[in-house]
Amino acid sequence: IISGDDTEKNKPHPEPYLAMMNLLDVEPENTVIIEDSITGLRSALASGGHVIARRGSVPIENLKIAHKIVDHLDEITIKFLEDLLLEPV
């Protein structure tokens, strides 16, 4: 777990995601990030990872910056993730 206290810059800067990728020793193109806020989406996209937006209180028009949008987390299957990771970031 990395919190806002663990990085110098917080969302929408990508540093929190980049720090976690570094900790886990994974490249951004091998990373999937799920977010439900505009600030989080901007941070995730700037990190270079594959980004899924979960619908909730943010209008869908604002979520279209993500690579994929889901209504419910149970839509995210292994096949969904495999297909997403094959797409260019």
Give the pLDDT confidence of 21-63 residue by residue, as tens digits: 999 999 999 999 999 999 999 999 999 999 999 999 999 999 9
pLDDT score for 70: 98
Report which of 53, 45, 54 is spatially closest to residue 17, judged by C-alpha positions.
45
Dihedral angle computed from the Cα positions of residues 46, 50, 51 and 52, in that order, rounded to the nearest 10 degrees: 180
pTM: 0.94
Task: Tell me what percent of the residues of the chain surpass a pLDDT of 90.
Answer: 93
Confidence band, pLDDT 50/70/90 cuts, at residue 64 = very high
> Would you state the structure tokens that stand for residue 62, as one six-digit string?
């604002």
